[in-house]
Amino acid sequence: MTSFPTPSQPRPTASDGTRMVGSGARLSANVQLLAFVGLVAVVISAFLVWGADSMYDKDRSALNLTSQILWDTTPADFESSPLVYLLVVAGLVVIVGLWRPEVRWLILIGGLGVLAIPLLYLRAVDAILDDPLYAIEGSLTSHIGVGVWVCLAAGALVVAAGVMALRATR
């Protein structure tokens, strides 16, 4: 039976005292690649349609949807503080986690932020559709653009990269 090292035991080293490089280094490259692909997908999703013209006056991307819609279904102005700002902040948190090895947990935090934004948007659109004041016909999926789905997939990729990064540092 193989015994596993406890967290207080040092990691295995080679006979000359240097750390052994093995699957941990390859996993780190996989984590970086997965997070990078997720971030590229987030950037792409920002330019795609998030809100269909059946719900708004025109098709709207994350560049021209206000972030206020995430917590208020009656935003005062669609041009104030675009939704893309929140995506940029979450993406920068992921980049800092990729850049600094001692804060790899930021990859997971940023990924959860990326994942939360489209989920909150879906909740807001659902609340708008349920409100009799707006009288908008159709299902939730008919009013949601492809950008939301791409951002959800990107968030899942970045969260997976964050979990893999945390597991690799243990």
Does residue 4 sit within a domain?
no
| 7 lies in some domain | no
* 152, part of any domain: yes
Q: Which of 105-114, 128-137, 146-155 has the lowest mean pLDDT?
A: 128-137
Global pTM value: 0.77
Q: Is residue 68 part of a domain?
A: yes
The answer to the question of residue 18 being in a domain is: no
Whether 73 has a pLDDT exceeding 80, the answer reads: no
Residue 15 lies in a domain: no
The stretch 133-160 carries a mean pLDDT of 87
Return the pLDDT at 76. 61
Please state the rounded mean pLDDT for residues 66-84: 78
Q: Does residue 14 form part of some domain?
A: no
**Is the pLDDT reported for residue 167 higher than 50?**
yes
Structural domain count, the chain: 1
Q: Where are the alpha helices (DSSP H) in the chain?
A: 23-47, 83-99, 105-130, 140-143, 146-169
Rounded Cα distance between 26 and 147, Å, is 31
58-63 contact pairs (CB < 8 A, 24+): 59/145, 60/145, 61/145, 61/147, 62/87, 62/147, 62/151
**Within-domain flag for 163:** yes
The CATH code of the domain that includes 67 is: 1.20.140
Question: What is the span of the domain harbouring residue 92?
Answer: 24-169
Residue 54 identity (one-letter amino acid): S
